[in-house]
């Protein structure tokens, strides 16, 4: 039961590459588990936000990162957007970016 991980575009991948070493390592460890066991790792690793949008919750000594993703048919996981959290609540602007990209991905898949 393997899943395939991809990115919305190259800039999303570059955003994640800019994360600190500890956050990148944690993110990679979680995505490896998602590719093997599926995207629903449960709290505190992944969480459903709603409307088909989910988040990877990476935490390291350097801070907290979030990567928003969706799942598609044929076992695809698409990373839509990522942020480094600076406040307790995820900014609405960041969620809106992820939701807009989710709609684009869904419309292209149909």
The domain that holds 72 is classified in CATH as 3.30.2310.20
Name the token pair of 24. 């990148």
| Domain encompassing residue 29 | 4-109
56 has pLDDT over 80: yes
Domain count for the chain, please give it: 1
Summarize pLDDT for 62-105 with one digit per residue, the tens: 889 999 999 887 889 999 999 998 888 888 999 999 999 999 99
Mean pLDDT of the 29-45 span: 92
Q: What is the DSSP string of the chain?
A: ---EEEESSHHHHHHHHTS-HHHHHHHHHHHHHHHHH-S---TTTEEEEETTEEEEEEEETTEEEEEEEEEETTTEEEEEEEEEE-SSSPPHHHHHHHHHHHHHHHHHH-
Residues 12/80/38/64 CA torsion (nearest 10 deg): 70
pTM: predicted TM-score of the whole model, two decimal places:
0.90
Measure the N-to-C terminal CA separation of the chain; round to a whole number of Å: 24
């Amino acid at each position: 039961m393997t899943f395939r991980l991809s990115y919305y575009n190259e800039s999303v991948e570059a955003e994640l590459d800019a994360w600190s070493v500890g956050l990148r390592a944690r993110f990679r460890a979680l995505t490896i588990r998602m590719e093997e066991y599926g995207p629903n790792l449960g709290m505190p690793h992944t969480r459903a936000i709603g409307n088909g949008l989910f988040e990877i919750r990476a935490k390291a000594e350097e801070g907290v990162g979030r990567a928003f993703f969706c799942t598609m048919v044929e076992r695809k996981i698409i990373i839509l957007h990522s942020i480094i959290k600076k406040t307790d609540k995820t900014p609405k602007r960041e969620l809106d970016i992820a939701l807009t990209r989710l709609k684009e991905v869904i419309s292209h898949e149909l």
